[in-house]
Amino acid sequence: MEFIGKTHIDFMGKKKFSFAISIVIGILGIIGIVRIALGTANMGIDFSGGTAVQLKFAQPVHIDRAREALAKHGLKDANLQEVKAGNKLLVKIGKTSLPQGNAADLIQAAFQKELTGNTFVVESSTEIGPAIGDKLRKDTLIAVAISLIGILIYIAWRFDFTFGIGALVATLHDVLAMFAVFFLLDKEVNLLFITAVLTIAGYSLTDTVVVFDRIRENLHKNTKDSLETIFNFSINEVLSRTIITALTTFLAAGSLYFFGGEVIHDFALALVVGILVGVYSSVFVASPIVEVWGRRPKTSKA
C-alpha cells in the first residue's frame, strides 16, 4: 500500500510562504520564552516553588464554589484547575508569604470547612521550596544548552556547514514552536514539558537527516540541474518516509495523549505538537535554508 505515490510538489517555491509562517511561530515561541524569563509565564511549581494539591471529591465541585472557599481562608491567589474525569480539582499556590508546609494543610482545612458533605481524598500533594526551584531552573538551562551543543557538534561532524545550519535552525524552530503552542494555550511549563522539548529536539532531527541524506546523494549523482530542482526532487522522493516515520510515532504519542491519563496529558500534547512540527520543519525550514544559502554545498562527506 502507498499513500503517496510519485509527487512533484514545488516545496522550494513555497518558501516565502513557509518562512513567513515559521517567523510567526518563532516570534511566538520567543515571546513564550521571554515570559518565562520574566516570570510571567504559567510556570509549574517545580520551577517557581510553591504548593500543588490534587483532590478527588465524592461529588462534583463547582470551580467558583471552590475558589470562594479558598478565598475565605486567605488563599485567594490559588490557581484552580478542574480535571475532567472524576471530580478532580488541582489547586496550585505559588510562592507565598505562608510558612512552608502550611499551604497544603490550609487548602484541605478550607475545603473541609466550606464544602461540608462533600468528602475528598488527597491524590497528590507537592511542596517545593524556592531554593529547589532556582536550582532546577539553572540545571534546566544547562541541560538545554548542552543538548543543543551536542546536537550541533554531531551535525557539524556528519554534515558540512550549510547543512549543519539548516538542521540547527530546524531544531530550534521545533523547540520554539512547542513553546509557542504552550504559550498560546496557556499550558503549564514544567519539568515534563522541558523533557518533551529535549526529546523532540533529538527526535525531530530524524526527518531532517533523512531529507539531507537524500539531497546529498542526489547532489553527487546530478551536477547539472539547479539546486532548487535537486532539492525539490529529493524532498519529493523521500516525502512518504518522512510522513510515515512521523505518523507511527504520532500514533504512539497520540494514544498517550488520549489514554495516558491527566498526569502526562500535557507532556503527550507537547510530544504530539513536536512531532507534527518536526515534519513541517524538515521539509519547509531545513532544506530551504540550505538552498537559500545559495551555493552548492561541498559533498565530499557522505
Partner 1 sequence: MSKGLTWRFGLILLFIFLSCLYMTPTFVSPLPSWWKGLLPKDRINLGLDLQGGTHLVMEVEIQKAVEGALDLIAGDLEDSLAAKTIRFKKIGRIASDRIQLTFYDRGTADTVQKIVKEKYPTLEIVPPYDEGGFVSMQLRVGAKEAQERKDRAVAQALETIRNRIDQFGVSEPVIAREGLTNIVVQLPGIKDPKRAIELIGRTARLEFKLVDETVNPATATPGTIPEDSELLMEKKTDPTTGAVTEIPLVVKKKAMITGDLLTDAQVRIDSQFNQPYVAIEFNSTGARLFDQVTAANVGKRFAIVLDNNIYSAPVIRERISGGSAQISGSFSEKEAADLAIVLRAGSLPAPVKIIQNETVGPSLGQDSITKGLMAGLVGVALVVVFMSIYYRLAGLVANFGMVLNVLYLMGALAALGATLTLPGIAAIVLLIGMSVDSNVLIFERIREEMRLGKPPKAALDAGYDKAFLTIMDSHVTTLITAAVLFQFGTGPVKGFAVSLSLGIIINLFTALVGTKSIFDFALSRLRIKRLSI
- List residues near partner 1 by CB under 8 A: 1-3, 54, 56, 100-101, 105, 121-129, 131-132, 139-140, 142-143, 146-147, 150-151, 154-155, 158, 191-192, 195, 198-199, 201-203, 205-206, 209-210, 213, 237-238, 240-241, 244-245, 247-256, 258-261, 263-264, 267-268, 271
In angstroms, the CA 300 to CA 298 distance is: 6
**Beta strand residue intervals within the chain, DSSP E:** 50-57, 79-83, 88-93, 120-128
- Amino acid of residue 108: Q
Return d(Cα 26, Cα 92) in angstroms, integer.
Answer: 30
Q: CB-based contacts of 168: which residues, under 8 Å, 6+ apart?
A: 148, 151, 152, 155
If the CB atoms of residues 51 and 232 are measured against partner 1, the closer one turns out to be 51
CB count within 10 Å of CB 125 equals 16
Cα distance between residue 268 and residue 274, in whole Å = 10
Give the span between the Cα atoms of 24 and 157, in whole angstroms. 31
Q: How far is the CB of 29 from partner 1 (least distance, A)?
A: 18
Q: How far apart are CB 207 and partner 1 at their closest, in Å?
A: 8
The CB-of-20 to partner 1 minimum distance in angstroms stands at 28
Instruction: Give the nearest distance from C-beta 68 to partner 1 in angstroms.
Output: 25
Return the DSSP state at 287: H
* Distance separating alpha carbons of residues 20 and 30, to the nearest angstrom: 15
Question: Containing H/E element for 290?
Answer: helix 287-292
Nearer to partner 1, 15 or 173 (CB): 173
Cβ proximity to partner 1: between 21 and 263 the closer is: 263
Rank residues 38 and 157 by Cβ distance to partner 1 and give the closer one. 157
Q: What are residue 122's DSSP bridge partners?
A: 55
128 vs 178 by CB, closer to partner 1: 128
Q: How far is the CB of 91 from partner 1 (least distance, A)?
A: 14
For partner 1, which is the closer residue by CB, 122 or 185?
122
Q: Nearer to partner 1 by C-beta: 127 or 228? A: 127
**Minimum distance between the CB of residue 268 and partner 1, rounded to whole angstroms?**
7
Q: Min. distance of Cβ 2 from partner 1 in angstroms?
A: 8
The CA distance from 77 to 145, in Å, is 34
Cell of 122: 488527597
